[in-house]
């Protein structure tokens, strides 16, 4: 684990011995900053003296990277994801790799004690990436299939870890795997991974909304191998995908970055690296508009494989610098509807202090939902919607904004 400042300058590092302080080989796949300013890390660890069984392994540190506690469980696990829940507990999203793959969600107390394990009971599913949903559940991306061709997986589990739905994307007899997921600026979802093209792999991207068919799916690549490991919507509206390529670049594998528009049309692509092999595994857009790429390199550093951090200026790669937003709302709110009473149409305004998933619904006096005005990811700021009564009868109606655990309701009186 390494901490740098905003310019990539080294601040501190730490390593962890593994469960029970024994000798293990392993890797952390995910790290999140926790509510107390510390960090939670999740991955897979294998005891050197007992090869093959992979443990899931979780480490909690303070803000300086010092170990506070760790927890693990033996078995055949592939643990890629960890989140802190709204109640302060932690959720691991892992795959139990046995005869049939199955996604398992493991809830830990703030002290690290295992509270329970929740099995999806759907076989041949594997989790590689996830996003939290507005109701404290998760959208998960991964793969569907067992020993035959795999398809890209997109599924949702609710706040009590029941699987609400799942769907898969791809072509029969061809492998597709989704390694990354991100919200799009228009309320959809963006999945990235790879598609096998026989002798080589291509970057595979899908844009979709909830459990529906894809808005589009497309592969991108050359004569060599390309895979996507991270996706991100840019402030300019393009969709960014990062990974690695052997088709272009300085030699071996190079870090690979491409941008497509909202219709999936390629806008540009670029390779980064040196004479060795270099890979991008993650990326984030910094507040100042720089794109930060993280991965591993054999071209630079002290020799062998080194951790690799790259910062790209937004204006140099077609990514617009994020505009300053000094007047963002301080909290969620559903403003008073207007006009009210109303005859045909009523305007609703939601204040959103941060980007995330919201829902805005209208109910009648009996509690029945009569309109869904928003259900998806929306940018911080103001969200405007129009409730059109149409053929609904005159009477009292209720607009309700939901964002995570926040809810607010406003009354609307329809006159005819």
Residue of higher predicted confidence among 97 and 121: 97
User: HEC string of the chain?
Assistant: CEEECCCCCEEEECCCCCHHHCCEEEEEEEEEECCCCCEEEEEEEEECCCCCCCEEEEEEECCCCCEEEEEEECCCEEEEEEEECCCCCEEEEEEECCCCCEEEEEEECCCCCEEEEEECCCCCEEEEEEEECCCCCEEEEEEECCCCCCEEEEEEECCCCCEEEEEEECCCCCCEEEEEEEECCCCCEEEEEEEECCCCEEEEEEEECCCCCCCEEEEECCCCCEEEEEEEECCCCCEEEEEEECCCCCCCCEEEEEEECCCCCEEEEEEECCCCCEEEEEEEECCCCCEEEEEEECCCCCCCCEEEEEEECHHHCCCCCCCCCCCCCCCCEECCCECCCECCEEEEEEEECCCEEEEEEEECCCCCEEEEEEEEEECCEEEEEEEECCCCCCEEEEEEEEECCEEEEEEEEECC
- Residues 96 and 56: their CA atoms lie apart, in Å, by 10
Structural domain that includes position 372: 333-414
The reply to whether 244 and 370 lie within a common domain is no
Domain assignment of residue 349, yes or no: yes
pLDDT (mean) for 339-344: 93
The reply to whether 299 and 345 lie within a common domain is no
**Nearest to residue 8, comparing CAs of 318, 290, 376, 322?**
290
The reply to whether 120 and 147 lie within a common domain is yes
pTM recorded for the entire structure:
0.75
pLDDT (mean) for 12-30: 78
The reply to whether 272 and 371 lie within a common domain is no
pLDDT (mean) for 4-17: 88
Whole-number pLDDT of residue 318: 47
Last residue of a domain, one of 290, 316, 342: 316
Whole-number pLDDT of residue 386: 95
Domain count of the fold of the chain: 2
Q: Which of 83-87, 242-246, 356-360 has the lowest mean pLDDT?
A: 356-360
The reply to whether 305 and 340 lie within a common domain is no
Flag whether pLDDT at 322 surpasses 50. no
Domain assignment of residue 328, yes or no: no
CATH code where residue 337 lies: 2.60.40.1930
Domain assignment of residue 326, yes or no: no
The reply to whether 279 and 374 lie within a common domain is no
Whole-number pLDDT of residue 21: 58
The reply to whether 312 and 410 lie within a common domain is no
Whole-number pLDDT of residue 255: 94
Flag whether pLDDT at 173 surpasses 90. no
What's the mean per-residue pLDDT of the chain?
Answer: 87
pLDDT (mean) for 2-31: 82
The reply to whether 284 and 220 lie within a common domain is yes
CATH code where residue 170 lies: 2.120.10.10
The reply to whether 245 and 343 lie within a common domain is no
């Amino acid at each position: 684990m390494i901490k740098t400042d905003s310019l990539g300058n080294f601040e501190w590092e730490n390593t962890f011995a593994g469960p029970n302080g024994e000798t293990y080989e392993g890797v952390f796949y995910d790290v999140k900053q926790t509510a107390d300013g510390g960090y939670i890390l999740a991955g897979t660890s294998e005891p050197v003296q007992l090869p093959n069984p992979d443990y899931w392994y979780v480490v909690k540190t303070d803000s300086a990277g010092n170990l506070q506690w760790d927890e693990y469980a033996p078995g055949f696990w592939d643990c890629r994801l960890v989140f802190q829940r709204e109640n302060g507990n932690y959720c691991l999203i892992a795959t139990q790799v046995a005869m049939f793959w199955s996604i398992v969600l493991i809830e830990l107390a703030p002290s690290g004690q295992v509270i329970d394990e929740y099995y999806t009971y759907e076989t041949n599913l594997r989790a590689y990436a996830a996003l939290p949903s507005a109701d404290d559940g998760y959208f998960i991306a991964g793969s569907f299939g067992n020993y035959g061709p795999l398809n890209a997986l997109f599924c949702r589990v609710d706040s009590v870890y029941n699987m609400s739905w799942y769907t898969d994307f791809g072509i029969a007899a061809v492998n597709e795997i989704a390694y990354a997921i991100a919200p799009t600026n228009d309320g959809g979802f963006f999945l990235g991974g790879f598609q096998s093209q026989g002798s080589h792999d291509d970057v595979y991207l899908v844009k979709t909304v909830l459990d529906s068919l894809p808005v589009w799916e497309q592969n991108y690549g050359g004569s060599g191998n390309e895979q996507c490991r991270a996706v991100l919507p840019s402030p300019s509206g393009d969709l960014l995908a990062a990974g690695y390529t052997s088709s272009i670049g300085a030699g071996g594998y190079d870090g690979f970055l491409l941008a497509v528009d909202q219709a999936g049309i390629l806008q540009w692509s670029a390779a980064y690296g040196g004479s060795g092999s270099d890979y991008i595994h993650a990326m984030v857009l910094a507040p100042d508009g720089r794109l930060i790429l993280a991965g591993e390199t054999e071209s630079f550093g002290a020799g062998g494989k080194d951790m690799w951090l790259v910062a790209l200026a937004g204006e140099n790669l077609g990514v617009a610098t994020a505009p300053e937003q000094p007047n963002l709302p301080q909290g969620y709110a559903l403003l008073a509807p207007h006009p009210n009473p109303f005859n045909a149409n009523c305007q609703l305004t939601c204040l959103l202090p941060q980007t995330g998933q919201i829902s805005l619904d209208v109910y009648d006096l009996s509690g029945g939902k009569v309109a869904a005005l928003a259900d998806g990811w929306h940018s911080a700021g103001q969200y405007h919607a129009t409730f059109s009564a149409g053929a609904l009868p005159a009477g009292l109606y209720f607009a309700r904004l939901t964002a995570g655990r926040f809810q607010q309701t406003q009354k609307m009186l329809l006159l005819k």
